[in-house]
A and B are shown apart, each in its own frame.
Chain A
Amino acid sequence: MQGIWNISWANMNPGRPPGGHPPAPDSDASDVSEAPQALLRKVLVVDDEEDLANLAAALLEAHGLDVLVAYSAYEALRLLQENGDIDALFSDVVMPGMTGLQLADAVSEMYPKLKVVLASGYTLPSLLDNRARPYLYASKPYRIDAILKLLHT
């Protein structure tokens, strides 16, 4: 994970191989751990709220994923260009400048194989209306297992 939080999950879950999935005690996410993982290893998390981006990244890492963090859509595009091995984008929707929806549209165009999952604290039904592409979507606040399920869909 890039950013201000560099968390060593090896300390939390001794014996787990790098990139493997640590156990998630008391969490519904254990179901997710059983899901096929072959197509998803590296996720790009995008949120202008830095704390939330970092926490989401930490949670995804706790479930064995490699994670990059961007605090804006523009930074996300740069990271995508520099890291050809990113499998999925998990982005906030309402961000200053380029929004998560605009980012999703651009990413779908440039990287059609990339999985896109959006999240927002807005519940306006019109938020995802009239989009050329349907996107997987989660409302904030979310449980990380719900995001994992969407990422593995």
Chain B
Amino acid sequence: MTLATDQTRTPHNLSRNAQRMLALRDEVLNAWTHSVRERLFLARDVRPPILINTMPIFYDNIVESISPGYPRTSAVDGSSVASEHGGERARISAYNHAALIEEYQIFRWAIFHVLDREGVRLDFHETHAINSSIDAGIQQSVEAFSLVHSGFRERFAAALTHDLRGPLSVTLSALELIMLSKDPAQMKAWAAKALANTRRMNGMVDELLHTMAFHGGQRLQLQLTQVAIGAVLDEVLADAVTAYGARFERVGVAVEGWWDRPALKRVLENLVSNAVKYGSAGTPITIKTDAAYEHLILSVHNEGAPIPPDEQECIFQMYRRAESAKRNDKQGWGIGLPFVRAGRARLPRRADAEPAVILPRASAAQLIAAGRTAALRRPAHHPG
């Protein structure tokens, strides 16, 4: 059976080499999958169905294209299969352009490697058809990939300006009221409101810059001091109670360690606000702190519909937000949880942490998204 996009049910019209190539599809895909995981760092954690994506269809289109007299001359003729692949890679993986192109180069290698190993001798025209199909596939995939990323950036910019204009509007309105007021007490209250919102904007800009710097390849500059996690949590939860009401419960043990306090606080704020945003309204949110093996293990748990497994990776990627969140009109920049992930340490991932996120370089923090629990694992000892 062929999976080609023109849905030919009887591949007997295919040339002999095309039929042999069709029979070797699984072997080629296995070789490709193995090599992609080995050579592409960004592909290592991509789940099998997502990794394989539309490649079997693309492969069968190539098979048709090498058959003389068969109407198809390229794998992308009359098909969006390569565009779909590029768009999908942009939407639900951490791939960049280079990874996407390399994936196709490995696909080219896998085809020729398996065919050669199995004694399939290709003539010049068949070799040319395979190469031109893959080249056209790369072009269409990269175009779609860029288009999707461009859309992400536009939405991100729109959400960013919207969210910054919130506190900016409060600040300006408070200042206008101060200008109008003659009551010192009210003037002071509005000044406090303006100040708090200016600080909020500053925090948002800091978070943005840190995340952008990380995604630009820079390492986060951390200022490590001895920190009691309880004190930071007290501050975060005091603000959270003001904003979201008294629905937070703290459990676990007191833990002290060496962390960058402002960065740790922003991480906690992000976890808590995401727990509120994506949980059921009014339900309890539990923040648990544990210490084990000289690590702080912090988990934030809410209640509500679980994030589908295939969306769990998206929520930790820059600009990306879960489809379920978009459907529910949840607002956000899509940088909060990527910020939590930022600062990846050069430490091996734990096999039981899926998806595992390693946090700032001086630490060994891991964020685990399992069901509705986000757990943060950070070392309690001084890393230096």
Contact = CB atoms under 8 A, between A and B. Distances in A.
A24 interface: yes
A51 B193 contact: yes
Contacts of A132: none
Contacts of A136: none
A96 B281 CA distance: 12
A97 B329 CA distance: 7
A52 interface: yes
A141 B172 contact: yes
A25 B180 contact: yes
Given A56-B173, A142-B169, A144-B176, A94 B331 contact: yes
Interface stretch (B156-164, B260-268, B308-316): B156-164
A52 B179 contact: no
Contacts of A140: 165-166, 168-169
Contact of B180 (A11, A24, A141): A24
Interface stretch (A77-85, A108-116, A117-125): A117-125
A22 B173 CA distance: 17
Contacts of B165: 121, 139-141
A24 B186 CA distance: 16
A58 B168 CA distance: 17
Contacts of B182: 11-13
Given A12-B182, A122-B158, A52 B163 contact: no
A28 B186 CA distance: 22
Q: Is the interface of A mostly helix, strand, loop or mixed?
A: loop
Interface in B124-164: 158, 161-164
Given A97-B329, A120-B162, A121-B161, A12 B180 contact: yes
A40 interface: no
B169 A124 contact: no
Nearest to B243: A50
B197 A123 contact: no
A7 B166 CA distance: 22
A142 B169 CA distance: 7
Contacts of B173: 52, 55-56, 58-59, 141, 144
Interface string A28-69: 000000000000000000000101100110110010000000
Interface string A80-98: 0000000000000010110
Contact size range, A = 20 to 34
A113 to B, nearest CB: 28
The B interface is mostly helix, strand or loop, or mixed, namely helix
A12 B181 contact: yes
B331 to A, nearest CB: 7
A26 interface: yes
A141 B174 CA distance: 12
Contacts of A56: 173
Contacts of B158: 122-124
B161 A59 contact: no
B331 A25 contact: no
Given A12-B181, A51-B193, A121 B176 contact: no
Most buried by A among B158, B328, B330: B158
Contacts of A99: 329
Nearest to B163: A121
A143 B186 contact: no
B99 interface: no
Given A121-B165, A123-B161, 10 more contacts: A12-B181, A52-B173, A55-B174, A56-B173, A58-B177, A94-B331, A121-B161, A121-B164, A141-B165, A141-B173
Interface of A: 7, 11-13, 22, 24-27, 49, 51-52, 55-56, 58-59, 62, 94, 96-97, 99, 120-124, 139-144
26 contacts: A12-B180, A13-B182, A49-B166, A49-B169, A51-B170, A52-B166, A55-B170, A55-B174, A55-B193, A58-B173, A58-B177, A96-B331, A97-B329, A120-B162, A121-B162, A121-B165, A121-B166, A122-B158, A122-B161, A123-B161, A124-B158, A140-B166, A140-B169, A141-B165, A141-B172, A141-B173
